[in-house]
């Protein structure tokens, strides 16, 4: 079997890259270790930067998003009984788009099905080989049979737990990580959102976030200890704690209902350098993880794909490989700026266990400063809506 680009991983990064390349006549095969339904069952974030929106439109998979997505012009920041709004539209001229990752992943798979794209699901033992030569190939097992795909490039879009990052030699690859001493307990409920925009709330009991997927599907998060398990949290316990941590006006109008999904996710900042090695290129969570506070995970996968897509176009159309050579440095530069924002926002909004009282007062002072400072609000807005590609 032979293809131009062998894409490992059928999440947003791999799907979007494959779709964009296809529209330019560049052939790819996609390997995914799970089933399509399993990938579509994952509940992930739902805030898209305009760069991501534009890329989905370019990929021809934006019809449902353009019809049902909800543009948001700002968010609320709450700290104790103070609440203020960050006006993206006024500060940056740009909104963000509320559109669930599950939805865009479904649109990308629908596009694959329509064009009978070659996808191998439930693959095993995926092994990118000779990626530092001009003749890379990928072996894998599918339905008990060993397969080999000879290709010109390998795109490692296989997420944090994938294999492609490790195909970069240990002597070359540098990894940086910070694990946060808490997690996010998330609940999805078929209830109207408590507010027309997102509310990020710093509270002495812990962080809370009020989000949504649409006008009848809400998404809420509570900071929780990493030792917590979902079975420790009844729905009533969740709603009671949420009410304690969000502004009173919101708590009074909160509509609750049975959780249709409940999960706990760890928070981590992670990135590896370089994001390429020979003819292997990493994109998305395979190369970096950000805490969800800044809603950057999916949007960084999109900007990686933007850089890699244009690099492949330059190579295949003009015979110019400068884009491929510059990919890693360009992608890492944008990743690190978004990672800084997500790290900063996480640290000022969350209660850090065993935190000295002085540090907690400094957190409150920083949020209070943002409340009264146009320049601080502009910094937050500029990062939240997405830095330029």
List residues binding ligand APR (CB under 6 A).
8-14, 31-34, 39, 44-45, 101, 123, 126, 157-159, 161-163, 284-285, 297-298, 301
Q: How far is the CB of 134 from ligand PHB (least distance, A)?
A: 42
User: Active-site positions?
Assistant: 72, 200, 292, 296, 384
Q: How far apart are the first and last CA of the chain?
A: 35
- Smaller CB distance to ligand PHB: residue 99 or 239? 99
Q: Would you call 66 helix, strand, or coil by DSSP?
A: helix
Cβ burial of 67 (10 Å; 0-12, 13-18, 19+) is exposed
Q: How far is the CB of 262 from ligand APR (least distance, A)?
A: 17
- Smaller CB distance to ligand PHB: residue 327 or 345? 345
R_g of the chain, CA atoms, integer Å: 21
Give the whole-angstrom CA distance, residue 170 versus residue 188.
Answer: 40
Q: Which does 163 bind (CB under 5 to 8 A by kind): ligand APR, ligand PHB, none?
A: ligand APR
β partners of residue 78: 83, 201
Q: Which does 162 bind (CB under 5 to 8 A by kind): ligand APR, ligand PHB, none?
A: ligand APR
| 8-state DSSP, 223 | E
Q: Which does 101 bind (CB under 5 to 8 A by kind): ligand APR, ligand PHB, none?
A: ligand APR
- Smaller CB distance to ligand PHB: residue 117 or 217? 217
Q: How far is the CB of 39 from ligand APR (least distance, A)?
A: 5
DSSP 285-342: GGTEE--GGG--HHHHHHHHHHHHHHHHHHHHHH---HHHHHHHHHHHHHHHHHHHHH
* Chain position carrying tokens 């996480």: 346
Q: Which does 47 bind (CB under 5 to 8 A by kind): ligand PHB, ligand APR, none?
A: ligand PHB
- Smaller CB distance to ligand APR: residue 62 or 256? 62
Q: How far is the CB of 2 from ligand PHB (least distance, A)?
A: 40
Residue of closest CB approach to ligand PHB: 211
- Smaller CB distance to ligand APR: residue 154 or 210? 154
Q: Which does 295 bind (CB under 5 to 8 A by kind): ligand APR, ligand PHB, none?
A: ligand PHB
- List contacts with ligand PHB (CB under 6 A): 45-47, 198, 209, 211, 219, 292-293, 295
- Contacts of 226-231 with CB under 8 Å at 24 or more apart are 226/181, 226/182, 226/183, 226/266, 228/183, 228/185, 228/264, 229/264, 230/185, 230/262, 230/263, 230/264
Q: How far is the CB of 209 from ligand APR (least distance, A)?
A: 15
Q: Which does 123 bind (CB under 5 to 8 A by kind): ligand PHB, ligand APR, none?
A: ligand APR
Q: How far is the CB of 190 from ligand PHB (least distance, A)?
A: 15
* Chain position carrying tokens 């996609």: 30
- Smaller CB distance to ligand PHB: residue 157 or 209? 209
Cβ burial of 361 (10 Å; 0-12, 13-18, 19+) is exposed
């Amino acid at each position: 079997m032979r293809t131009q680009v062998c894409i490992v991983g059928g999440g947003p990064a791999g799907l979007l890259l494959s779709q964009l390349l296809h529209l330019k006549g560049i052939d790819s095969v996609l390997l995914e270790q799970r089933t399509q339904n399993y990938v579509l069952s994952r509940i992930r974030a739902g805030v898209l930067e305009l760069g991501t929106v534009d890329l989905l439109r370019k990929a021809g998979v934006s019809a449902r998003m353009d019809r049902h997505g909800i543009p948001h012009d700002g968010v609320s920041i709450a700290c104790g009984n103070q609440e203020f709004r960050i006006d993206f539209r006024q500060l940056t001229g740009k909104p963000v788009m509320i559109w669930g990752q599950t939805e865009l992943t479904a649109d990308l798979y629908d596009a694959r099905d329509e064009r009978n794209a070659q996808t191998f699901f439930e693959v095993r033992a995926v092994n990118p080989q000779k990626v530092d030569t001009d003749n890379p190939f990928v072996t894998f097992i599918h339905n008990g049979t060993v397969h080999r795909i000879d290709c010109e490039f390998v795109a490692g879009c296989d997420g944090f737990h994938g294999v492609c990052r490790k195909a970069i030699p240990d002597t070359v690859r540098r990894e940086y990580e910070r694990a946060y001493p808490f997690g996010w307990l998330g609940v999805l409920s078929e209830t109207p959102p408590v507010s027309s925009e997102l509310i990020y709330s710093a509270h002495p009991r812990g962080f809370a976030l009020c989000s949504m997927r649409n006008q009848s599907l809400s998404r809420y998060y509570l900071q929780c200890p990493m030792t917590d398990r979902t079975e420790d949290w009844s729905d009533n316990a969740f709603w009671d704690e949420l009410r304690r941590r969000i502004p009173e006006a919101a708590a009074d109008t909160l509509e609750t209902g049975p959780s249709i999904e409940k999960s706990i996710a760890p928070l981590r900042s992670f990135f590896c350098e370089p994001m390429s090695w020979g003819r292997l290129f990493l994109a998305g969570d395979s190369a970096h993880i950000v805490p969800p506070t800044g809603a950057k995970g999916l949007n960084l996968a999109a900007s990686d794909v933007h850089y890699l897509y244009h690099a492949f176009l330059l190579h295949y159309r003009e015979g110019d490989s400068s884009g491929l050579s510059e990919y890693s440095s360009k992608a890492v530069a944008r990743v690190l700026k978004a990672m800084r924002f997500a790290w900063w926002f996480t640290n000022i909004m969350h209660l850090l266990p065993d935190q000295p009282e002085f540090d907690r007062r400094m957190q409150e002072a920083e949020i209070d400063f943002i409340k009264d400072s146009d320049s601080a609000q502009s910094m937050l807005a500029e990062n939240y809506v997405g830095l330029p590609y």
